[in-house]
Structures are given as structure tokens and as C-alpha cells.
Amino acid sequence: MKKPIIGVTALFDDEKNSIWMLPSYLDAITDAGGVPVILPIIDNEEDIKILVNKFDGFLLAGGQDINPEIYNENKSTHCGDVNIARDTMEKALLNEILNVDKPILAICRGFQLLNSYLGGSLYQDIKIDRNNNKDSVHRQEKPYNKPTHKVMIKKHSLLFDIMKKEEIMVNSMHHQAIKKVSPKVSDAAISEDGVIESIYMKDRRFVLGIQWHPEHLYKDYPEQFNIFKEFISRCY
């Protein structure tokens, strides 16, 4: 039986100068019926076009902060580590994926990159830039398979079509967040304290970005598994 082949962007360890991957991303794709493959970090545009042609869909995974230069800001002292090589590769990758309209599931950093690349911007640190010292917990401690805050989902959005719920509980492991929503996407969900939690593109085959980490939740919460199942179903 044919299964979709899914390219997964790699995490990068600066100290060890190596790529790596949390198995939960790969497990979620496999359990949903896809075959995950970790992508290399390369910058040759022709090679990236070849990669995009070979895969049926792409998962943009978490990792370091996005370089603020992407959304035309200077890097502040409260911005975390960035990885220029990964940013460069993933911008070119995202550009080509959108050009050929293949499905994208963007999680955490991937969600932030999607918005930034398409003309939006980020808070470089939620607590400092938004004076956000209470309400939703956006940077929880382990275990990561335990939800910590509520998210409200917009009706008639792609996420609502997948989840069939107006409110869900999610986990959270980020210190940055969307500040300005890109004019090329629509917001689909928001946290109790006003942080954008999901975006999507209406004019594409499937482009969904989410701030939380469903790969840690999907085994215990069926609605979270629906995200991966819907993504894989759009990759055929």
C-alpha cells in the first residue's frame, strides 16, 4: 500500500554540530500512516527543489528561535539562540513548497517561521514584550504530554474542521509568539491571554501552523491525533 513520504525539518545541536530529532514527531507521522524522513540542512536551491519534488508533504518542526532579521527586527537580548543555516534552508524550503503547493504542518518554531516568512512578526519574548507574567503557562516543565492551558478555536477555520471543538487544552513550550499575523494567513485559535495559537492558509491544499506540540499529546488525546491524520490524508 502506498504511503505518503513526509520530509521533517531537523533540529540542530550547535555544540555538537549535528542534526537530531525527537522521536515523537516521527512516531506521530508513522502512526497516522505516513513515512517520515529527516531532512538535511542544505542551502543549494536546486537541491532543495529536488527534495521538495521527492516528498508528498512536510512537517516543519520546533527548535531554536527565528532570526529576527527575517521579520525586519534587530535581535534583542531576550531573544534566544538562532541558527542561521537552518533559517536559510527552511526559508528556501518553505518558498519551494508553497510554489508547488504541497501540504505543510508547521509546529512551534515551524509555525513561527511560517508567519514570519509570509510577512508577519514575533514577540522575541512573551513575558518581556507583552508584559505577560500570568494567565496561560507558555513554557511548561516536563512531562510534556500534560496540557497546561486552554485554546479557543474559531469556527469555520481549518483547525475547527479538524478538531470539531471550540475549546481544547494544549501543552506549551515556547517563549516567543506571533505579534503581527501575516496578511497571507488567517488566525484559527487563540489562548486565554491573547496569544495566537494557530494559523492557516485558505488558498492552499493544506497549510496549518500550530504553536503547541501535538506530537506529545496525540497518544492520549484523540483530537490531537486528528491533526496528524488530516495532514497525512492531504498528502496523497
How does pLDDT run across 209-224, given as a tens digit for each residue?
A: 999 999 999 999 999 9
Residue 132's pLDDT band (cuts 50, 70, 90): low
Q: Which domains does the chain have, with CATH numbers?
A: 5-233 (3.40.50.880)
Task: Please name the amino acid found at residue 114.
Answer: L
Active site residue 78: no
State the average pLDDT over residues 31-43.
97
Active site residue 215: yes
Residue 141's pLDDT band (cuts 50, 70, 90): confident
Task: Please name the amino acid found at residue 234.
Answer: R
pLDDT of residue 217: 98
Task: Please name the amino acid found at residue 170.
Answer: V
State the average pLDDT over residues 37-59.
96
pLDDT of residue 201: 98
Q: Which of 175, 215, 230, 235 is catalytic?
A: 215
Residue 174's pLDDT band (cuts 50, 70, 90): very high
DSSP sequence for the chain: ----EEEEPPEEETTTTEEE--HHHHHHHHHTT-EEEEPP----HHHHHHHHHH-SEEEE---SBPPGGGGT-PPPTTS--B-HHHHHHHHHHHHHHHHHT--EEEETHHHHHHHHHTT-EEES-HHHHS---SSS-SBPPSPTTS--EEEEE-TTSHHHHHH--SEEEE--B-S-EEEE--TTSEEEEEETTS-EEEEE-TTSS-EEEESS-GGGTTTT-HHHHHHHHHHHHTT-
pLDDT of residue 136: 60
pLDDT of residue 162: 98
Q: Which of 149, 174, 175, 213 is catalytic?
A: 213
Q: Which of 79, 90, 96, 108 is catalytic?
A: 108
pLDDT of residue 13: 85
Active site residue 167: no
